[in-house]
């Protein structure tokens, strides 16, 4: 029997899935599940490391599940589950806490950024990368499809696996990073920052946004004033729009706008309208499927329960191996 090759990734249930999430992660997951067994988690324990609304959390978990499936994740090929439904994640994370120095966690870029935005950063925010390592290593995943901002965390995961194996004996695989083409989509309103829901509505395009909202957001996107004879390099805003153009249209359309830009005759209005219509077309079937899924909450919860049941079988086995090596069982 052919041995299964697992990949692991997850997204926080912190609101609508946007273009950055889709091109940086989910689109790649859909393609990778043809070759690997995908383990895709809705990582609710990660979501509570920063301020959140407890009353909205369960609804957002269901919306995230609907987003996964509507985007093309097949529950028959991949496991889709809620992180907190597999308690082995946090138990393994605690074991890893005993073998990684605090200095390693304090140097994490995301911790520095997020802790700087809070009056008092939680210990959970500091330990976030350890839980992420447990998420991945628990399934002996050979690859982790993530965006550029998570590369440092995957490198720490590799370090933790290496440290554990060296200290207690071989249990874990050091996973590889799998980057997608659209691994760094920037904010439409502030292209110096990565597209994120935390920045506000005008900064991102949600896959679930209505056509009217998509058009409005694209038309408001930051660009620049054009090029001169001495400056042919695109500004950050224009570069970001061309990145999206490349991801959402065909090479002929990209070449057309590239030629116009280089000649200094590009109409930003036309570019934005083209992107808006491409976005509306690309996600119309997604929106229909998402609506259908959310209308049957019982079916969605059953998919999540089945995914958690399959994931736990793998997780329990790995955790037992780790505890045996550590002399705990």
Active-site residue list: 114, 194, 197
DSSP string, 73-102: --TTTSEEEEGGG-THHHHHHHHHHTTS-H
As a whole number of angstroms, the distance between CA 255 and CA 153 comes to: 36
As a whole number of angstroms, the distance between CA 86 and CA 177 comes to: 23
As a whole number of angstroms, the distance between CA 107 and CA 112 comes to: 7
Angstrom CA distances, 10 to 2, 87, 111, stand at 26, 16, 18
| DSSP classification of residue 148 | G
As a whole number of angstroms, the distance between CA 15 and CA 28 comes to: 20
CA dihedral 148→149→154→156, nearest 10 degrees, is 130
* Chain centroid, CA 83 distance in Å: 14
């Amino acid at each position: 029997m052919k041995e299964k090759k697992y990949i692991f990734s997850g997204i926080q249930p912190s609101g609508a899935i946007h273009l950055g999430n889709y091109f940086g992660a989910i689109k790649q997951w859909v393609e990778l599940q043809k070759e690997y067994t995908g383990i895709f988690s809705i990582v609710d324990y990660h979501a509570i490391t920063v301020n959140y609304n407890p009353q909205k959390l369960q609804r957002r978990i269901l919306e995230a599940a609907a987003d996964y499936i509507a985007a093309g994740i097949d529950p028959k090929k991949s496991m889709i589950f809620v992180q907190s439904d597999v308690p082995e994640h946090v138990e393994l994370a605690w074991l890893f806490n005993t073998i990684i120095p605090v200095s390693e966690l304090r140097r994490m870029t995301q911790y520095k950024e997020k802790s700087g935005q809070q009056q008092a950063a939680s210990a959970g925010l500091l330990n976030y990368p350890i839980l992420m390592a447990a998420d991945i290593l628990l399934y002996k995943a050979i690859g982790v499809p993530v965006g550029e901002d998570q590369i440092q965390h995957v490198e720490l995961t590799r370090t933790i696996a290496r440290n554990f194996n060296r200290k207690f004996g071989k249990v874990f695989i050091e996973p590889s990073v799998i980057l997608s083409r659209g691994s760094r989509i920037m904010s439409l309103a502030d292209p110096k920052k990565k597209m994120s829901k935390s920045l506000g509505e005008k900064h991102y395009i949600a896959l679930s946004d209505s056509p009217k909202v998509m058009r409005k957001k694209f038309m408001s996107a930051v660009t620049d004033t054009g090029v001169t004879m001495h400056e042919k390099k695109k500004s950050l805003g224009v570069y970001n729009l061309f990145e999206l153009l490349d991801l959402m249209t065909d090479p002929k359309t990209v070449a057309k706008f590239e030629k116009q830009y280089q000649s200094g005759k590009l109409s930003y209005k036309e570019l934005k309208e083209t992107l808006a219509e491409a976005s509306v077309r690309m996600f119309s079937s997604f929106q229909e499927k998402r609506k259908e899924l959310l209308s049957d909450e019982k079916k969605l919860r059953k998919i999540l329960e089945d995914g958690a049941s399959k994931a736990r079988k793998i997780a329990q086995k790995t955790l037992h191996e780790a505890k045996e090596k550590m002399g705990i069982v």
